[in-house]
């Protein structure tokens, strides 16, 4: 007879679910909100406990398992543009992890799961956790280039011209725009998110003219940042020197902020792009 500890059962399945949801989001190129991923993982871990209650044994049916997986994806990524892709990849990643666990059980003659395929092991906890992490990194490494704007949403505080604007930014490792003079990262912000703090001469649609007006006003705050994008071979963005930028309260220094004349998001609910710093 196997004694199952509910706290250990919850912890192991929470960690596995969290890493699977995180890997699926990265593979799909979805925006990662870690608190939502944590809620989805917790819902799956709670399901793992409920299936062992005698009065809820019907939850072990494959349709219930399918519904639980969809619910986890909805909690973690509901409303996202790539929800369907994330859900499919989540089930695929779960199958890959289940295969890895099964192979390890056969090779090592150990038991790492209970009935219904629920992850649990009193004696091989470290081995099971190591397997979870290894599978996550393998999946993330293999599929890291899938998706357009995979990243994590962060709160950005931009100190500019004596005021502070708070915007939501996507931390995107594919965003590599830098200041040619200092090689420091440049934050790209949709100009309307900073409209109340912009000087009169700043116009995102006319970066060169704005730079000339800046110099005519006796200021050296503005810079031109060259960039390339789909459909734009050689473009220029008007960039302003800030008094400081913070990401989730962490100071990043006096970075340049480049003004985008068009929204930078694709329905993800952010107004700025931040490189992987």
Full-model pTM: 0.55
Same domain, 88 and 180: no
Query: pLDDT tens digits, the chain, 277 residues: what are they?
Result: 455 567 777 888 898 889 889 888 877 767 778 899 999 999 998 998 888 787 887 887 889 889 999 999 999 999 876 788 889 988 888 887 777 666 665 665 555 555 555 655 555 566 666 766 776 666 666 554 444 445 678 889 999 999 999 998 988 766 778 887 777 889 999 999 999 999 999 999 999 999 999 999 999 999 999 887 655 556 899 999 999 999 888 898 899 999 999 888 866 578 999 886 6
**What total of structural domains would you count in the chain?**
2
Same domain, 234 and 116: no
Same domain, 80 and 138: yes
Same domain, 28 and 114: yes
Which of 91, 122, 142 is at the close of a domain?
142
Alpha-carbon dihedral sign for residues 142, 145, 148, 152:
positive
Domain hosting 198: range is: 152-274
Same domain, 19 and 138: yes
Same domain, 26 and 80: yes
Which of 142, 162, 192 is at the close of a domain?
142
Which of 142, 169, 203 is at the close of a domain?
142
CA distances from residue 216 to 182, 189, 224 in whole angstroms, order as listed? 24, 25, 16
For tokens 């007006």, name the residue.
213
Tell which residue, 154, 227, 175, 165, has the closest CA to residue 195: 165
Rounded Cα distance, 83 and 225, in Å: 34
Same domain, 136 and 16: yes
What is residue 147's predicted lDDT score, i.e. its pLDDT?
45
Same domain, 132 and 221: no
CATH number, position 174? 2.40.70
Residue 147 domain-assigned (yes or no): no
Residue 1 domain-assigned (yes or no): no
Same domain, 222 and 108: no
Rounded Cα distance, 248 and 246, in Å: 6
Same domain, 41 and 158: no
Same domain, 242 and 207: yes
What is the secondary structure of 139-154 as a DSSP string? HHHHTTT-SSS-EEEE
What is residue 171's predicted lDDT score, i.e. its pLDDT?
82
Indicate the helix (H) or strand (E) that contains 132.
helix 125-142
Residue 41 domain-assigned (yes or no): yes
Same domain, 103 and 185: no
């Amino acid at each position: 007879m196997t004694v199952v500890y509910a706290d250990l059962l919850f912890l192991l399945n929470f960690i596995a679910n969290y890493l699977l949801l995180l890997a699926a989001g990265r593979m799909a190129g979805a925006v990662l909100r870690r608190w939502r991923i944590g809620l989805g993982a917790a819902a799956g871990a709670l399901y793992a406990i409920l299936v062992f209650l005698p009065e809820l044994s019907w939850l072990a049916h494959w349709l219930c398992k399918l519904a639980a997986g969809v619910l986890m994806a909805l909690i973690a990524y509901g409303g996202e543009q790539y929800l369907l892709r994330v859900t499919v990849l989540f089930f695929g990643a779960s199958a890959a992890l289940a295969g890895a666990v099964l192979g390890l059980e056969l090779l090592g003659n150990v038991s790492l799961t209970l009935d219904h395929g629920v992850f649990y092991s009193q004696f091989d906890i470290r081995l099971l956790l190591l397997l979870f992490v290894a599978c996550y990194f393998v999946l993330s490494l293999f599929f890291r280039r899938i998706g357009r704007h995979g990243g994590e949403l962060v709160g950005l505080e931009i100190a500019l011209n004596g005021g502070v604007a708070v915007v939501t930014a996507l931390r995107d490792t594919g965003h590599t725009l830098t200041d040619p003079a200092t090689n420091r990262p440049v934050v790209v912000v949709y100009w309307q998110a900073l409209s109340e703090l912009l000087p009169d001469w700043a116009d995102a649609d006319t970066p060169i003219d704005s730079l000339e007006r800046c110099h005519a006003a006796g200021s050296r705050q503005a810079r031109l940042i060259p960039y390339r994008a789909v459909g734009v071979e050689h473009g220029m963005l008007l960039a302003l020197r800030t008094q400081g930028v913070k990401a989730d309260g962490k100071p990043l220094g006096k970075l340049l902020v480049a003004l985008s004349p068009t929204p930078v998001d694709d329905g993800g609910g952010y107004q700025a792009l931040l490189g992987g710093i």
